[in-house]
């Protein structure tokens, strides 16, 4: 009996000790994630699944004093008792977007405005773009943020999309490779990227409810392919689901998209966050695998109610919480990094400058107008010659300290400008910003729908200043050359109007009148296009001697322009999106705005796979400037194409030699297009499969380039069997300086069909879609 009593006492003591241990506080980083989740209350779980909302008040990593990081997009909840710290999310496809000044803090917090995505894509230089990402990431790190909400991988389906400046290309290979480079650079700093907007967010005006109706093939080959490349090659920490519906379902509520495709097929291991306020059903978002709901203002009560009513399984939110906690563990906030608030902005400005130079595309250069020859006096026309557009509006804006205009860059380089002309433009700019409201904003409804703009953006949307023929002719005598800058801007929440795609009558008259006046005196005229997206050029391009597409190339755009104009650097940019002759030539022109016309709900992607050059080349539609096009100050010769095998085994190596046969140094972009058999399933005329940019080649110098084609490079998506299939037959390798300037060709054969990858039968369109076909041109 005594032994029994002793045993009972021992058991009680063990139980008490066990209970005491079980109540010891769990801490993230010391205990298992599943134990942390088990220690959380329902309210804490729901908080961590949603952002903190607004206003946002955070603490430093040490927690010793409150700091408001003004201008961030949002943040996650902290749960101090479990060692869970807040993480900070900030906008920034073209650079970190935070406020440059903070209340009660005297120092400034400026960020670098890098070239926009359209400009970066035009470099065709992924190592350079990775350096841009690395510089961006350093600013994210040193300003105390965790994730940059970038890059944006959506396709340039239509030139009127207001947010095209944030997107790279009409081609998914370019979009994917550039996006992967940015992610690698960003995340090398120990901060995260958020790849967005997943997926098929290709217009802005009805983005929060519009239903993108897309065939499975077009989805896989065009609109998902770029994301797939980024996920597999760069492993981003996060993905942001888009606002729109895709084939009937909000993307943030679509389990097939966020789990079956993104996680199961592509192997994504990070977290998915919603776009800010995206989706309609928080429970559906949780079930779909949209782990984090941002900004987190409205969904907490909905989730708590669903958990208590058992309409949401707690195991689902625990799964999502596990991903969020795994993400938090990687952040510098959790690791206690003491950020400096002093990134190396000077070094980053140099990176921005180099990227700006390589992103500019020379579209025309008649009579050797460029580079400058014996030019000292410049007549500078166009309001954006004095006010350079660094980037678009909305979440893609950057609060930089100073942007170099073309005027400033020319003066710095020692050129003299017409003072009388400069004064007229500066007076016009001042008058355009003089009618600000008490809130410091002006309503502008000229090129776009009515929008509210801060003072520094007003001039971008004002009409060009009128100049009489006499006023223009007065500039000829005392000037060696004329430069005209044409500007365009756009941004989040609104699409461009068709009238914005074309130059206004005033802009065309300016180009025509200046050209006629200067040509009469045997002097040259250069047009600079300071734009974020594709515009019409065919109606006026014959007037000037040269056209230089500067894009929106960030804060160093003015200096980069001058470097090219004066011949310090030869232009090496190539178009990553085609310039059509006119807007009706765009394959999505009729369907872009959606149906029904006056209350659009559905956007039918009835052009299918025929986007951009895939359409223009296949249907023999002429363009103003084709995909991949761009001139240089020197000339390149292509030669000696070799294939590692004439019969496809599992991969083929294609080698070519590029030689500078001109008189100036320069870089060239070699592009590999593939023409596939068109027997069992129709194909575009050709598709870009690889590209490479040479080093800077001196006159007479050459470089040997080798490309690799694997089975996936040969494959098309067969939706009937939900597989990537390489079709047997003859394949033609085409090496060119653009999609139409093909220099070399070679053939290989694939003896038998190859099923490269079998995938899930998902994402079927919810409405009938009649796609364009090269075998039957009717829609």
Catalytic residue positions, numbered: 275
Q: What is the spatial distance between Cα 612 and Cα 155, in angstroms, rounded to a whole number?
A: 10
SS3 326: helix
DSSP 367: G
From residue 660, alpha-carbon distances to 18, 470, 566, 635 in Å are: 77, 45, 20, 6
Q: What is the spatial distance between Cα 35 and Cα 28, in angstroms, rounded to a whole number?
A: 9
Q: What is the spatial distance between Cα 577 and Cα 596, in angstroms, rounded to a whole number?
A: 28
Residue (of 572, 668, 613, 624) closest to 361 by Cα position: 572
In sequence order, which ranges of 104-235 are alpha helices (DSSP H)?
117-121, 126-142, 172-187, 216-218, 225-234
Strands (DSSP E) contained in 466-532 are: 481-487, 524-530
135, 346 contact by CB (below 8 A): no
- Classify residue 660 by burial, with Cβ atoms within 10 Å: 0-12, 13-18, 19+: buried
Which tokens go with 537? 């050029």
Q: What is the spatial distance between Cα 723 and Cα 708, in angstroms, rounded to a whole number?
A: 22
Which tokens go with 375? 């030019």
Query: Using DSSP, how many helices (H) and how many strands (E) does the chain show?
Result: 23, 32
Q: Per-residue b/e over 212-251, b at no fewer than 16 CB within 10 Å?
A: bbbbbbbbbbbbbbbbbbbbeebbbbbbbbbbbbbbebbb
Residue (of 260, 268, 276, 267) closest to 236 by Cα position: 268
Q: What is the spatial distance between Cα 470 and Cα 481, in angstroms, rounded to a whole number?
A: 17
Q: What is the spatial distance between Cα 154 and Cα 253, in angstroms, rounded to a whole number?
A: 19
Partners of 487 in the β-ladder: 530
CA-CA-CA-CA dihedral for 723, 728, 730, 733, to nearest 10: 30
Q: What is the spatial distance between Cα 119 and Cα 168, in angstroms, rounded to a whole number?
A: 8
- Classify residue 736 by burial, with Cβ atoms within 10 Å: 0-12, 13-18, 19+: buried
Residue (of 227, 229, 226, 278) closest to 254 by Cα position: 278
Residue (of 569, 617, 534, 602) closest to 765 by Cα position: 602
Which H or E run includes 424?
Answer: helix 419-432
Q: What is the spatial distance between Cα 245 and Cα 625, in angstroms, rounded to a whole number?
A: 33
Residue (of 577, 574, 553, 578) closest to 563 by Cα position: 553
CA angle 629/633/637 to nearest 5° reads: 70
567, 633 contact by CB (below 8 A): yes
Q: What is the spatial distance between Cα 357 and Cα 355, in angstroms, rounded to a whole number?
A: 5
Q: What is the spatial distance between Cα 154 and Cα 118, in angstroms, rounded to a whole number?
A: 12
Q: What is the spatial distance between Cα 74 and Cα 187, in angstroms, rounded to a whole number?
A: 19
CA-CA-CA-CA dihedral for 508, 512, 518, 523, to nearest 10: 80
Q: What is the spatial distance between Cα 512 and Cα 514, in angstroms, rounded to a whole number?
A: 6
């Amino acid at each position: 009996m005594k032994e029994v009593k002793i045993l009972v006492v021992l058991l009680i003591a063990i139980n008490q000790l066990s209970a005491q241990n079980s109540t010891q506080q769990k801490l993230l980083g010391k205990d298992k994630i599943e134990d942390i989740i088990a220690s959380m209350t329902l309210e804490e779980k729901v908080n961590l699944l949603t952002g903190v909302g607004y206003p946002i008040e955070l603490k430093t990593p040490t927690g010793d004093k409150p700091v408001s990081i003004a201008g961030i997009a949002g943040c996650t909840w902290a749960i101090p008792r479990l060692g869970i710290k807040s993480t900070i999310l900030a906008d920034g496809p073209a650079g970190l977007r935070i406020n440059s000044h903070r209340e009660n803090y005297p120092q400034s917090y400026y960020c670098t405005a890098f070239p926009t995505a359209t400009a970066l894509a035009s470099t065709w230089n992924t190592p350079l773009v990775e350096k841009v990402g690395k510089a961006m990431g350093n600013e994210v790190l040193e300003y105390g943020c965790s994730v940059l909400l970038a890059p944006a991988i959506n396709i340039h389906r239509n030139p009127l999309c207001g947010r095209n400046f944030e997107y790279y290309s009409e081609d998914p290979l370019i979009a994917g490779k550039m996006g992967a480079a940015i992610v690698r650079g960003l995340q090398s700093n120990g901060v995260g990227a958020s790849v967005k907007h997943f997926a098929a967010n290709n217009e802005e005006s009805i983005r929060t409810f519009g239903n993108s109706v897309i065939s499975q093939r077009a989805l896989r080959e065009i609109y998902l392919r770029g994301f797939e490349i980024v996920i597999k090659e760069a492993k981003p920490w996060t993905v942001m689901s888009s606002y729109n519906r895709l084939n009937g379902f909000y993307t943030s509520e679509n389990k097939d998209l966020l789990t079956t495709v993104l996680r199961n097929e592509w192997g994504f291991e990070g977290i998915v966050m919603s776009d800010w306020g995206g989706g309609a059903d928080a429970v559906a978002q949780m079930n779909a695998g949209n782990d984090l709901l941002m900004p987190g203002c409205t969904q907490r009560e909905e989730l708590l109610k669903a958990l208590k009513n058992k309409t949401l399984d707690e195991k689902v939110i625990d799964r999502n919480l596990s991903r969020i906690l795994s993400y938090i563990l990687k952040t510098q906030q959790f690791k206690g990094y003491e950020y400096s608030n002093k990134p190396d902005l000077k070094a980053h400005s140099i990176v921005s400058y180099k990227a700006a130079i390589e992103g500019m595309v020379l579209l025309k250069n008649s009579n050797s107008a460029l580079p400058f020859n014996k030019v000292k006096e410049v007549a500078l026309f166009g309001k954006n010659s004095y006010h350079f557009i660094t980037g678009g509006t909305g979440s893609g804006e950057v609060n930089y300290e100073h942007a170099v205009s073309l005027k400033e860059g020319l003066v710095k380089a020692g050129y003299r400008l017409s003072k009388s002309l400069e004064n007229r433009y500066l007076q016009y700019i001042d008058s355009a910003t003089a009618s600000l409201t008490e809130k410091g904003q002006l309503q502008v409804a000229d090129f776009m729908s009515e929008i509210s703009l801060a003072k520094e953006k007003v001039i971008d949307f004002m009409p060009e200043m009128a100049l009489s023929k006499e006023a223009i002719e007065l500039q000829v005598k005392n000037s060696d050359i004329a430069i005209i800058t044409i500007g365009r801007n756009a941004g989040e929440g609104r699409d461009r109007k068709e009238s914005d795609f074309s130059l206004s009558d005033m802009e065309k008259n300016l180009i025509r009148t200046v050209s006629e006046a200067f040509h009469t005196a045997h002097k040259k005229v250069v047009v600079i296009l300071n734009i974020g997206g594709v515009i019409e050029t065919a109606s006026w391009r014959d007037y000037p001697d040269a056209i230089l597409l500067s894009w929106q190339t960030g804060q160093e755009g003015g200096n980069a322009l001058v470097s090219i104009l004066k011949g310090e650097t030869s232009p090496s940019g190539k178009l990553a999106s085609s310039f059509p002759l006119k807007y009706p030539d765009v394959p999505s022109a009729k369907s872009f705005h959606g149906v029904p016309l006056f209350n659009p709900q559905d956007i039918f992607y009835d052009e299918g796979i025929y986007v951009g050059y895939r359409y223009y080349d296949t249907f023999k539609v002429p363009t103003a400037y084709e995909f991949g096009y761009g001139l240089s100050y020197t000339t390149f010769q292509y030669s000696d194409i070799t294939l590692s095998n004439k019969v496809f085994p599992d991969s083929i190596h294609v080698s070519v030699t590029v030689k500078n046969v001109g008189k100036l140094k320069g870089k060239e972009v070699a592009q590999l297009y593939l023409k596939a058999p068109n027997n069992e399933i129709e194909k575009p005329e050709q598709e870009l499969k690889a590209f490479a940019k040479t080093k800077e080649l001196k006159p007479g110098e050459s470089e040997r380039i080798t490309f690799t084609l694997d089975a996936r490079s040969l494959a098309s998506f067969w939706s009937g069997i939900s597989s990537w299939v390489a079709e047997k037959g003859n394949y033609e390798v085409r090496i060119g300086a653009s999609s139409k300037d093909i220099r070399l060709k070679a053939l290989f054969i694939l003896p038998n069909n190859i099923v490269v990858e079998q995938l899930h039968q998902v994402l079927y369109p919810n409405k009938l879609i009649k796609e364009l076909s090269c075998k039957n041109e009717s829609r």
